[in-house]
Amino acid sequence: MLENLLTLGGNMNVTFRQLRLLEAVARNSSFTRASEELHLTQPAVSTQIRQLEEEVGMSLFEQMGKKIYLTEAGKEMYAFSRSIAQQFRYIESVLDDMKGVRRGSLSLSVTSTGKYFAPYLLAEFLKLHPGTQIQMEVANRQGLVAELQENIPDLAIMGTPPENMDLTAHAFMQNPLVIIARVDHPLVASARIPLSRLGEENFILREHGSGTRNAVEQFFGERGVKLNALMEMSKNEAIKHAVMAGLGLGIVSMHTLEFELALNRVAILSVEGFPIMKEWYLVHRSSKRLSPVAQAFSEFVLNEAGRIITLPQQQPAIPARRRVTRS
């Protein structure tokens, strides 16, 4: 499909196919994974990339050990080929939609907290659009913002969108941030714990720059309360395990707690002013033309997320037993 030559700089001719292969290899950092994704043999992919390098007159990849990396020329070609690949996905979706096929591909990026519910949205969406191909990337807030700046995903699911970018953002679901403790922590039995009391506790918090950390710092800063950040962690799972180990209190999205609450591994504290009520947003670059599939997913999320995603419920607290090692 669309094998016409693309003339660059007057004398350099490359094919759309070669650019598409370059995009796949660079994105996967692997000839093998790219060939599997495109249903081609690895030698076929390697041959096309080698022909592209000959046409460009420079190496596009370099290998160090078992890993491959883009050269400077490769990075420039990758940026160009990525734009071409996005246009391919769009036109294929448009043509399929016109034929009534109702299929296509969707590139979705979600924050590390959003990964706890995004698969459930995708599962329900695929029931309505079974031919859709989904590529879901998980990144922290900083990484997701970088992807939006590069116009990589069709859509992104995140907390409060950055204000310094031209984005279209729609809130679709609440995101309650709660304070969690080990189930045998003394504060578990208390109600309406004053914020000033939290100054006596150690906290395990998300890294600076994360959406959760930004919300926590704003909330406590406005109230003049300083938290003792014993540890910083970049993963919600690490924070929950640290809390279960008794290292301190944590602040996480309630969406991350389904299994821990069901298994009575952590307890949500009753704290003055909590939960901090944030919202989840579906985001894309304002200049991006959404494909029919992306548009369908956007409408689906905005209309159905509240029905599909429910918050986990806290179980009656049962004190945890500490392990005792006997010699």
Q: What are the angstrom distances between the C-alpha of 169 and each of 128, 165, 280, 286?
A: 24, 11, 10, 9
Same domain, 181 and 94: no
Q: Which domain holds residue 35?
A: 1-101
Give per-residue pLDDT as tens, 4-32.
Answer: 444 454 456 778 788 888 888 888 888 98
Residue 134 lies in a domain: no
Describe the crossing of helices 16-28 and 72-98 by its angle, rounded to 10 degrees: 110
Cβ atoms of 232 and 205 within 8 Å: the answer is: yes
Structural domain ending residue among the three candidates 44, 73, 101: 101
- Indicate the SS3 state at residue 291: coil
Same domain, 3 and 96: yes
Q: What mean pLDDT comes out for the span 152-168? A: 93
| Of 319, 283, 308, residue with least CA distance to 109 | 283
Residue 167 lies in a domain: no
Residue 57 pLDDT level (bands cut at 50, 70, 90): confident
Residue-by-residue DSSP string for 155-196: EEEESSPPTTS-EEEEEEEEEEEEEEEETT-GGGG-SSB-GG
pTM of the model: 0.70
Cβ atoms of 179 and 268 within 8 Å: the answer is: yes
CA 20 to CA 126: how far, in whole Å?
25
Structural domain ending residue among the three candidates 101, 124, 148: 101
Q: What is the dihedral of CA 118, 121, 126, 127, to 10 degrees?
A: 150
Give per-residue pLDDT as tens, 218-277.
Answer: 999 999 999 999 999 999 999 999 999 999 999 999 999 999 999 999 999 999 999 999
CA 114 from centroid of its chain's CA atoms: 6
Residue 205 lies in a domain: yes
- Indicate the SS3 state at residue 203: strand
Residue 169 has pLDDT above 50, yes or no: yes
Residue 293 lies in a domain: no
> How many domains are there within the chain?
2
Q: What is the CATH number of the domain that holds 250?
A: 3.40.190.290
- Indicate the SS3 state at residue 255: helix
Structural domain ending residue among the three candidates 278, 298, 319: 278
**Helix and strand counts by DSSP (H, E) for the chain:** 10, 13
Q: What are the angstrom distances between the C-alpha of 5 and each of 2, 101, 285, 287?
A: 9, 28, 30, 27
Residue 209 lies in a domain: yes
Same domain, 182 and 273: yes
Give per-residue pLDDT as tens, 272-303.
Answer: 999 999 999 999 999 888 888 899 999 999 99
| Of 269, 276, 248, residue with least CA distance to 191 | 269
Q: What is the CATH number of the domain that holds 46?
A: 1.10.10.10
- Indicate the SS3 state at residue 215: helix
